[in-house]
Amino acid sequence: MENLPNDPPVLAAQRKIAQFSLFRTDETRIRKSLETMTNEPNQRASGSSPAKRKPWPMWPIVVAIIGFMAFYTWVQFSFRKLEDPYLPSQAMQDRARAAELKNMYGWYSLPFDRVASESVELSLPPLFTLTRELPLENELPSQVVYYLPRKPILLPNLELVGAHSTYLPTDPYYLAIQLPSDYANHPEFYLTTLYKESELLILPELRVSEKPSGLSAAQTDSLETIYFSIDAGPLTVPSITVKLYNASSIYQWQIHAKSASPAISE
């Protein structure tokens, strides 16, 4: 008896034949894909691919760099600030010194110059010598103590040997002091002069942080007299009390405004 198409063996055989046909079809497709991938580089090499791109030229980049450098240099020289760079430590020192040169609650620091002895003739005015019993900060006005950058190192064995008893705002005011030569020729020797209304304070000092150990208070064998001129422009009152400080004493005297009255003819 013949097997009908719907017999199980026949159906199984048909399924195997169909699977084999699908496998053969997939194998053929894979082989064609591999051949296509293998032939593509050869086709591109043979000239079927588009032409290769040329590299970018370098001259536009070089021109752009040179142009930017030229523009930057022009901006730097045209708009940069010409003042000195900011130095914090130097700025602090400048502010401390400026406090002495500006108006300090009515106190003014007067400029001074060291002059030759031949340029002026001085005599000793009537004066009082006061012994200092209190520390310097208690002897000076509080505004002056506040604005001084450091405690002045006053000099020992310093004496007033000459000063004018009158002054004119248009002329410098002169005085002469005698002190040990080591102090007189010290590079940090300074004459601090402070004026307010009817009082003029003069402090010959060493502007150092500590008193030099090599300078002794007993150095009296080599004394030197030095002369100073003080700007009298701000002095406007009729009478002024002058105080000269040393390490242990205060010299005090009066100066009066010189009247430029015209001569009376008979």
Mean pLDDT of 211-215: 65
pLDDT digits (tens, 9 = 90+) for 29-56: 777 776 766 665 555 555 545 567 788 8
pLDDT of residue 166: 92
pLDDT-derived band at 84 (thresholds 50, 70, 90) equals confident
What is the extent of the structural domain holding 111?
107-257
Q: Is residue 173 part of a domain?
A: yes
Mean pLDDT of 200-225: 76
Q: Is residue 242 part of a domain?
A: yes
Structural domain count of the chain: 1
pLDDT above 80 for 75: yes
Q: Could you give the CA distance from residue 38 to residue 29 in angstroms, rounded to a whole number?
A: 14
Q: Could you give the CA distance from residue 73 to residue 66 in angstroms, rounded to a whole number?
A: 11
pLDDT above 60 for 97: yes
Give the number of residues written for the chain.
266
> Which DSSP string corresponds to the chain?
-PPPTTSHHHHHHHHHHHHHHHHHHHHHHHHHHHHHHHHHHHHIIIIISPPPPPPPPSHHHHHHHHHHHHHHHHHHHHHS--SPPP-HHHHHHHHHHHHHHS-BTTBEEPPEEEE-GGG---BPPPEEEEE--S-HHHHS-HHHHHHSSS--EEPSS-EEEEE-SEE-TTS-EEEEEEEEHHHHT-TTEEEEEEEETTEEEEEEEE-SSS--TT--TT--SSEEEEEEEE--TT--SSEEEEEEE-SSEEEEEEEEEPP-PPPPP-
pLDDT of residue 104: 63
Q: Residue written as tokens 């009152």?
A: 237
pLDDT-derived band at 4 (thresholds 50, 70, 90) equals very low
Q: Could you give the CA distance from residue 244 to residue 155 in angstroms, rounded to a whole number?
A: 11
0.85 exceeded by the pTM? no
Mean pLDDT of 88-98: 73
pLDDT-derived band at 266 (thresholds 50, 70, 90) equals very low
Mean pLDDT of 216-242: 84
Q: Could you give the CA distance from residue 184 to residue 215 in angstroms, rounded to a whole number?
A: 11
Give me the percent of the chain exceeding a pLDDT of 90: 30
pLDDT of residue 212: 67
Strands 239-245 and 199-206: parallel
Q: Is residue 3 part of a domain?
A: no
Mean pLDDT of 67-91: 82
pLDDT of residue 1: 45
pLDDT of residue 197: 86
Mean pLDDT of 226-238: 91
The CA R_g of the chain, rounded to the nearest whole Å, is 50
Q: Is residue 91 part of a domain?
A: no
Strands 249-257 and 166-167: parallel
Q: Is residue 30 part of a domain?
A: no
pLDDT above 50 for 262: no
| Average pLDDT of the chain to the nearest whole number | 79
**Residues 219 and 180: beta-carbon distance below 8 Å:** yes
CATH of the domain at 181: 2.60.40
Q: Is residue 227 part of a domain?
A: yes
**Residues 110 and 234: beta-carbon distance below 8 Å:** yes
Q: Is residue 89 part of a domain?
A: no
